[in-house]
Structure 1
Amino acid sequence: MTDPVKVLVTGAAGQIAYSLLYSVAKGDVFGKDTPITLVLLDIPPMAGVLDGVVMEMQDCALPLLKEVIATTEEAVAFDKIDAALLVGAMPRKEGMERKDLLAANVKIFKSQGMALDKYAKKTVKVVVVGNPANTNALICSKFAPSIPPENFSCLTRLDQNRAQAQIAARAGVACSAVKNVVIWGNHSSTQYPDVNHATVEINGKTLSVFDAIKDDSWLKNEFIATVQQRGAAVIKARKLSSAMSAAKAICDHMRDWWAGTPKGQWVSMGVVSDGSYGIEKGLVYSFPVEIGSNHSYKIVQGLPINDFSREKMDNTMKELIQERDMALEACN
């Protein structure tokens, strides 16, 4: 047994956290032999619900869970944490403009960035889930200048999982047979799910997705639209946003960041752009990344980008630039 990994989950009384906490505490993310200290943060009106969540975590009797700390104070929540799963955010309400959502969330993620800067370990790994996730991650990083920008990320693994599942269903294979789907850009309806570099294993043979599916029109139209609109489709059907699938994606994201990716495989993460693929430096943009065993990632380089992809990648970058500018204006 090593020292416990101290993991913060914000919005801990919410529905995504309810699906997430069990997996984190039982060892699915940080390893089957790694003890966990869970820190649960939510707003004061949710304190009673939070108490109930703590009781349930205790009642699970999980051998790796050493301590559960529930709080409504950032100074307590962010103290010496190793990982931050920033799930809580102001949800978009009916009639709310995107700029209004940005303005509300800027305050939250500015404050959490400052708390990370002041209290967290400088090695902390941060994944932002609350929407608009890319821009919230950018703001969080901006207000935590003592923590390396590469320690901040946002969740686009849910989009990758959605894309992978669509391809697998179409090809009639297990999801594990589909590899190296890429999500470029923003976690929004402008994101670009790209299968030009992805493969499908069918009957022991590795094929390109285009050769496996044999339907270019579906891949360039319906497939992309389905992935882009999947969150809205879940809300329409469930009357609630994605929770179980979001929690699974958060676990996938942080597990791979912590343990590394298999050789020859990459995953999609929203990370601070270094200018790769012509994406403006400093934006939090989803790229394909390979992750080593020391919790450090590298953006996959040298992928050929055709004209169709270039247009999609630039469109989502433009949206992110607009979001960033609105968010920075709201900061001031």
Structure 2
Amino acid sequence: MSEPITVVVTGAAGQIAYSLLYMISRGEVFGKQQRINLHLLDIPPMMGVLEGVVMELGDCALPLLNKVVPTSDPAVAFKDAAAAFMVGAMPRKEGMERKDLLSANVKIFKVQGEALDKFARKDVKVLVVGNPANTNAIICSHYAPSIPKENFTAMTRLDQNRAKYQIASKLGLPVDAVKNVIIWGNHSSTQYPDAKHAVVTVNGASKSAWDAIGDAAYLQGDFISTVQKRGAAVISARKMSSAMSAAKAACDHMHDWWNGTPAGEFVSMGVVSDGSYGMPKDIVFSFPVEIRDKKWSIVQGLSIDDFSKGKLDITAKELLEEKDEAMAVCNQD
């Protein structure tokens, strides 16, 4: 067993964390030999609920779980953090304007960014799950200037997993027969799920998912809208937002960031744009990335047709607007 690493989960008394904490503690993210100190952050009114979660983690008798620290103090939570799952955020409520949501989240991610800056390891891997995830990641990075910008990412893996499942089910294949589906842009209804570069394995042979499905109208229509609206469909059916699938996606994202991507495969992550594919710089934009030695790099040279370019421009415009609104709130401080 290796020395324990400190892993922070914010919003730790919530629905997503309830699934996420078990997966992390079982070794599904950092490996079956890596012991974990779990730091669980939530707001003071949730401390009673969080105590129940701590009891359950103990009752799971998980060999890799070295220590659990429940707290409402960001200074305690982020001390020596090697990885942080930023799940806690202000949810959008009925009648709430986007600027109201951004304003509430700027306050949350300012405090947490400053705590990361002061107390976490400088190589901490920060995954923002709480929405609006892309813009929350920019805010968090803004208030943690001593930590490299590339250490802040936003989760679009849930959208990738959703897209992968849609292709697999359309073709009657297991999901592990589908790879290299891309989510471009924002984790919002403007995201662009792109099957153009996806590959499927059928009867032992690899082929283009686009050719295997053979239905451009579907791939440029219902496929995209189904993935874009999947979160709303889950809420409509379950009366609660995606939790188990979001937790699984957060684990997938951090697992690949920590352990790397297989040769010939890439995954979607919201990362700080360097201008690749003509997208604006310094927004957190979901790109296809490859990961080696815990460092991601944007996959270059993929062909982008006019249809795709139009979709990328729409989601980039929304992200620029969100960033401008969020930074305006930051600048009022």
| TM-score bracket, shorter-length normalisation | over 0.9
Distance, in Å, in 1 between the alignment partners of 2:80 and 2:210 is: 47
The DSSP-based 3-state class of the residue aligned with 1:4 is strand
Note the alpha carbon deviations across 1:209-235, whole angstroms, 9 max, x for none. 121111111110000000000000000
Aligned partner of 2:14 in structure 1 is 14
Aligned partner of 2:297 in structure 1 is 298
Q: How does 1:78-89 map to 2 (within 5 A)?
A: 78-89=78-89
Q: Aligned letter for 1:54?
A: V
Distance, in Å, in 2 between the alignment partners of 1:145 and 1:204 is: 48
The DSSP-based 3-state class of the residue aligned with 2:123 is coil
Measure how far apart 1:104 and its partner are: 0.5
Note the alpha carbon deviations across 1:51-70, whole angstroms, 9 max, x for none. 00000001100000000000
Aligned partner of 2:111 in structure 1 is 111
Aligned partner of 1:169 in structure 2 is 169
The DSSP-based 3-state class of the residue aligned with 1:160 is helix
Aligned partner of 1:179 in structure 2 is 179
Q: Which runs of 5+ in 1 are unaligned?
A: none
Q: How does 1:1-332 map to 2 (within 5 A)?
A: 1-292=1-292, 294-331=293-330, 332=332
Distance, in Å, in 2 between the alignment partners of 1:217 and 1:195 is: 12
The DSSP-based 3-state class of the residue aligned with 1:66 is strand
Q: Aligned letter for 2:299?
A: V
Measure how far apart 1:205 and its partner are: 1.8
Note the alpha carbon deviations across 1:23-54, whole angstroms, 9 max, x for none. 10010000010001100000000000010000
Q: Aligned letter for 1:317?
A: A
Distance, in Å, in 1 between the alignment partners of 2:241 and 2:70 is: 24
The DSSP-based 3-state class of the residue aligned with 1:30 is coil
Measure how far apart 1:137 and its partner are: 0.1
Q: Which runs of 5+ in 2 are unaligned?
A: none
Measure how far apart 1:204 and its partner are: 1.5
Distance, in Å, in 2 between the alignment partners of 1:212 and 1:244 is: 30
TM-score, length of structure 2 as denominator length: 0.99
Distance, in Å, in 1 between the alignment partners of 2:2 and 2:316 is: 42
Note the alpha carbon deviations across 1:92-114, whole angstroms, 9 max, x for none. 00111111101110100111111
Alpha-carbon RMSD across the aligned residues, in angstroms, is 0.5
TM-score, length of structure 1 as denominator length: 0.99
Distance, in Å, in 1 between the alignment partners of 2:324 and 2:266 is: 30
Distance, in Å, in 1 between the alignment partners of 2:313 and 2:167 is: 24
Distance, in Å, in 2 between the alignment partners of 1:252 and 1:205 is: 25
Distance, in Å, in 2 between the alignment partners of 1:16 and 1:281 is: 31
Distance, in Å, in 1 between the alignment partners of 2:184 and 2:231 is: 17
The DSSP-based 3-state class of the residue aligned with 2:81 is coil
Distance, in Å, in 1 between the alignment partners of 2:177 and 2:98 is: 37
Measure how far apart 1:260 and its partner are: 0.3
The DSSP-based 3-state class of the residue aligned with 1:95 is coil
- Higher mean Cα deviation, 156-165 or 92-101? 92-101
Instruction: Among all aligned residue pairs of Structure 1 and Structure 2, give the percentage whose two residues are the same amino acid.
Output: 67
